[in-house]
Structure 1
Amino acid sequence: MRHEVTDDDTAVAVGSGDVPVLATPRLIAWLEAATLRAAEPFTEPGRTSVGTEVRVRHLRATGVGGVVEVTAEPPTVSGRLLTFVVRAVDGSGEAVAEGEIDRVVVDRRRFVAGLP
């Protein structure tokens, strides 16, 4: 998944810092979106996956106008737990972030019904 950093994606805009670079929370959201897509083959109709743990290192700043490509490798599967190796690289091929994200496969209806 390819993203171009806009003013709305900066640390200033999301409130996580005071510099106009890609915010770590936005980067993590992009990485999680990649895992959601990569989890689709592991969910049956009526099931979905939810994020449960994020272990990501943000390695390099990316300014407004910069391009970031995020990927999630096919997961390691342990029962309902899906563990994805994730990576983000910038337009010059430099690593922006790397790490792992866990998702758990759940029954969508039961999950939503259990919400307060």
Structure 2
Amino acid sequence: MTLAPGLNAKLLIMVEREDTAQKIGSGDVPVLATPRLLALAEMTTVQALRPHLEPGTTSVGTRVQLEHLAPSPLGTHVEITTELIEVDGRRLVFAFQARDRNQVVGRGTIERVLVDRERFLERATG
């Protein structure tokens, strides 16, 4: 498995009720919730990696830096793009950006670490 900077993926969503701060409980307004934005960005990093991982290998999130810059109300289309910007052994750093039709609504970095799935689960469950 060779992972190199430049690996990328995109995800396009439309903000629905289930995505809102009101529904998730992270606020009381019907706009894209910050935790949901983060989950979508992480999902996009996983999507980028999936075809490149050896059997039995997965990645886990270890660090996040996120700026949620603008609200995205119900019905807004938001595109999340991620790009692998750093590879340091098993440590991978992705930059991400979320945009609606008019502006950047969020951006940041997500750090993931490659792990052996079975060993990770054994450690997690004791």
Provide the rounded CA distance (Å) in 2 between the counterparts of 1:18 and 1:111. Answer: 37
Spell out, residue by residue over 1:54-78, the C-alpha distance to the aligned partner (whole angstroms, 9 max, x if none).
Answer: 1010001000000100011134100
From 53, 62, 70, the equivalent of 1:60 is 70
From 24, 42, 47, the equivalent of 2:57 is 47
Secondary structure at 1:31 match in 2: helix
The match for 1:71 is 81
Q: What count of residue pairs does the alignment treat as equivalent?
A: 115
Provide the rounded CA distance (Å) in 2 between the counterparts of 1:3 and 1:83. Answer: 23
Tell me the percent identity: 48
Provide the rounded CA distance (Å) in 2 between the counterparts of 1:115 and 1:62. Answer: 36
Unaligned runs of 5+ in 1: none
Instruction: Report the alpha carbon displacement of residue 41 of structure 1 after superposing the two structures with TM.
Output: 5.0
The match for 1:38 is 48
Provide the rounded CA distance (Å) in 1 between the counterparts of 2:101 and 2:13. Answer: 10
- Aligned ranges for residues 8-47 of structure 1 at < 5 Å? 8-40=18-50, 42-47=52-57
Spell out, residue by residue over 1:73-115, the C-alpha distance to the aligned partner (whole angstroms, 9 max, x if none).
Answer: 13410010000000000023x1011110000000001011112
Q: Which runs of 4+ in 1 moved over 6 A?
A: none
The match for 1:107 is 116
1:97 aligns with 2:113: no
TM-score normalised according to structure 2 size: 0.87
